[in-house]
Amino acid sequence: MTTRQEHTDMATRLDPPSAPDDDPADDPAGDPSRSPASDGPLRVFLVDDHRLFLTGVRTEIGDRFDVVGTAETVDAAVADILALQPDVVLLDVHMPDGGGLAVITRVRESTADVQFLALSVSDAAEDVIALVRAGARGYLTKTVSADELAEGVRRVHGGDAVFSPRLAGFVLDAFSGAPPARPTETSPGEDDLDQLTPREREVLRYIARGYAYKQVASRLHISIKTVESHVSAVLRKLQLSSRYELTRWATDRKIV
């Protein structure tokens, strides 16, 4: 006769041990804010020649990522990025000594493991395309919110391409094989510059280089409203409809 204790012992031997519960939250690979290499938060490096802006960005995203360092010059950025090997580098485009393009180019000569996300006031097509060709995974303007910036960092680290809405078209145009617009019989000719006042020509060159209205106003010591008026006049006289067309027009004629 089998005793109750023997039934219990037999059940214990037959039942397989239960597997531990899998909690997705414990899997770093399932969380885009965590670095697979360290099982911790994504490691981010910031590059900008304006210290105040660096401080602001660090404050905005510092509680979401591990900001491992900052740099205000190209040389310092390259050295620190290679030494620290962050997951994602947020970098400005226009800086002395080659700017963000120089940083990406020099780092890429040594490693392909770091992802780059450009963050700039410039929305010029040539800046966007140059950075992407050099190896940037995305390009955001400095008008983005903290949440949008954080999402951009996560997506770039995950392998996505990230662009501010109006900039994506530049990239599609550049890599679609479509030839750049060239002057035609109905296009503005070289002598169209004669229609512009000296001030309008100055504004034209700054805008075509990717400067924001606020930056142009500061450099020319005029108001933002005055800059807007000059840009409207330039577009009207040259029969163009947008800053993008203006940039291409000026670039084609090598007057930037």
Q: Which two tokens stand for residue 201?
A: 């020509």
Domain positions in the chain are 31-175, 190-252
Q: Which CATH class is domain 31-175?
A: alpha beta
Q: Which residue has the tokens 């006049």?
A: 233
Fold: same for 31-175 and 190-252? no
| Per-residue pLDDT in tens (0 to 9) along the chain, 256 residues | 555 555 445 444 444 444 444 444 444 444 555 555 556 799 999 999 988 889 999 999 999 999 999 999 999 999 999 999 999 999 998 888 888 999 999 999 998 889 999 998 887 778 888 888 889 999 998 888 899 999 999 999 999 989 887 777 777 666 665 544 443 443 444 457 778 888 888 888 888 887 888 888 888 999 988 888 888 888 888 877 777 777 778 877 777 6
Q: Which two tokens stand for residue 113?
A: 């493991």
**What was the pLDDT predicted at 67?**
96
Q: Which amino acid is at 206?
A: Y
Q: How far apart are CA 123 and CA 144, in angstroms?
A: 12
Q: How far apart are CA 149 and CA 57, in angstroms?
A: 9
Q: Which amino acid is at 220?
A: L
**What was the pLDDT predicted at 255?**
74
The number of beta carbons lying within 10 Å of the beta carbon of residue 105 is 15
**What was the pLDDT predicted at 174?**
66
50 CB-side CA count, 13 A:
12
pTM > 0.85: yes or no: no
3-state secondary structure 75-112: HHHHHHHHHHCCCEEEECCCCHHHHHHHHHHHHHCCCC
Q: Which residue has the tokens 């229609």?
A: 195
Q: How far apart are CA 76 and CA 83, in angstroms?
A: 11
The length of the chain is 256
Q: How far apart are CA 209 and CA 94, in angstroms?
A: 10
Q: Which residue has the tokens 């034209």?
A: 204
DSSP 72: S
Q: Does domain 190-252 have CATH number 3.90.78.10?
A: no
